[in-house]
Structure 1
Amino acid sequence: MSTLEEHVDVSVTLDRAWDSLHQVEDYARFVAGVRDARTEGGGRAHLNVEAGGRTRELDAEVLDRTGERVMEWRTTGAPELRGSFSLQPIDQSHTRVQARLEYDPDTVRATFGGPKGFAQVAAIERLVRSDLEQFKEYTEQR
């Protein structure tokens, strides 16, 4: 498994950033490739994702550690992905959003297509950075 960690600082309160992360239905606004997303109760979410010219339906389990402001998630089928978002207050009106993604590059390539090796890792890094910037815009404009 490869691990990627990125962060972005947003100009909103910790509570507002936390609430924005839980608006699963809005993920298509800031997560590249997500065409549709919805919560399904019981800590589960369903996403319709398009990447590399392929469309996939993904189910995920979501676990909140609310007191720590950490949201962990993992897919329940192929491809096996897992990650987390952790929020840390910078001050009363600014929050750091830390994203962590664990994935197997070969599985991601086989599932969604795309480049091999270092090129794929670089592409995933760019995608996560871009998604965090889109989350920043989405959260600050809400």
Structure 2
Amino acid sequence: MSTLEEHVDINVPIDTAWDSLHQVENYPRFMQGVREARTETGGRAHLDVETGGPTRELEAEVSDRDRDRVMTWQTKGTPHLEGTLSFQSIDRNNTRVQARVEYEPDAVRESFGGPKGFAQANAIERVVRGDLEQFKDYVERER
């Protein structure tokens, strides 16, 4: 299992950033490859994801520690991905969002294609970093 950690600072209060994360239908606006997203019952989200091949459907179980501003998630099926998104107040008007993603590189490559080894890790890092930057732009613009 490989682990990736990235963060981004957003120029909005923590409540604004936290609330924006919970608007699942807007995930296509800031998550690369997500074509459609919706909330389902039982703390699940459904994502239609396209990564250069056919569109794949992913189901994710999501849980919040609302008081701590931490969301944990894990996909069901293959590939198995899991992670956390933590929100920390920097000051009244600024928030740090920390993403931690755990994944099995071979399972990701088999499911979505792409190179092996170091190149695969770099691709995943670029996607996570890009999604965080897109989330920052989305939240600051929608504020």
State the TM-score bracket (shorter-chain normalisation): over 0.9
Aligned-partner residue type, residue 127 of structure 1: V
Q: Which runs of 5+ in 1 are unaligned?
A: none
Alpha-carbon shift at residue 41 of structure 1 (Å): 2.1
Q: 1:24 matched to which residue of 2? A: 24
CA distance in 2, matches of 1:65, 1:96: 16
C-alpha displacement of 1:120: 0.6
TM-score by length of 2: 0.97
Gaps of 5+ in 2: none
1:97 matched to 2:97? The reply is yes
- Per-residue deviation, 1:31: 0.3
RMSD: 0.7
1:139 aligns to what? Answer: 139
Match of 1:54, SS? coil
Q: CA deviation at 1:79?
A: 1.1
- Name the SS of the counterpart of 1:37 in structure 2: strand
Amino acid in structure 1 at the alignment position of 2:92:
Q
Q: CA deviation at 1:54?
A: 3.2
User: 1:2: which partner in 2?
Assistant: 2
Shift of 1:55: 1.7
8 Å contact from structure 1 (residues 81, 102) kept in 2: yes
When the two structures are superposed, what TM-score results if normalisation uses the length of structure 1? 0.98
Structure 1 distance, partners of 2:73, 2:81, is 8
Using the alignment, how far apart are the partners of 1:77 and 1:67 within structure 2?
A: 29
Q: 1:75 to 1:3 in 2, by over 3 A?
A: same
Secondary structure of residue in 2 paired with 1:51? coil
Percent identity between the aligned chains? Answer: 68
Aligned to 2:63: 63
Matched position secondary structure for 2:137: helix
- 1:4 and 1:80 map into 2 onto residues whose CA distance is 14
Distance 2:106 2:83 in 1: 17
Which 4+ stretches in 1 moved above 3 angstroms?
Answer: none
Q: Give distance in 2, aligned partners of 1:54 and 1:2.
A: 25
Letter in 2 for 1:136: K
* Structure 2 counterparts to residues 117-132 of structure 1, below 5 A: 117-132=117-132
- Partner SS, residue 25 of structure 2: helix
Q: What is the aligned length?
A: 142
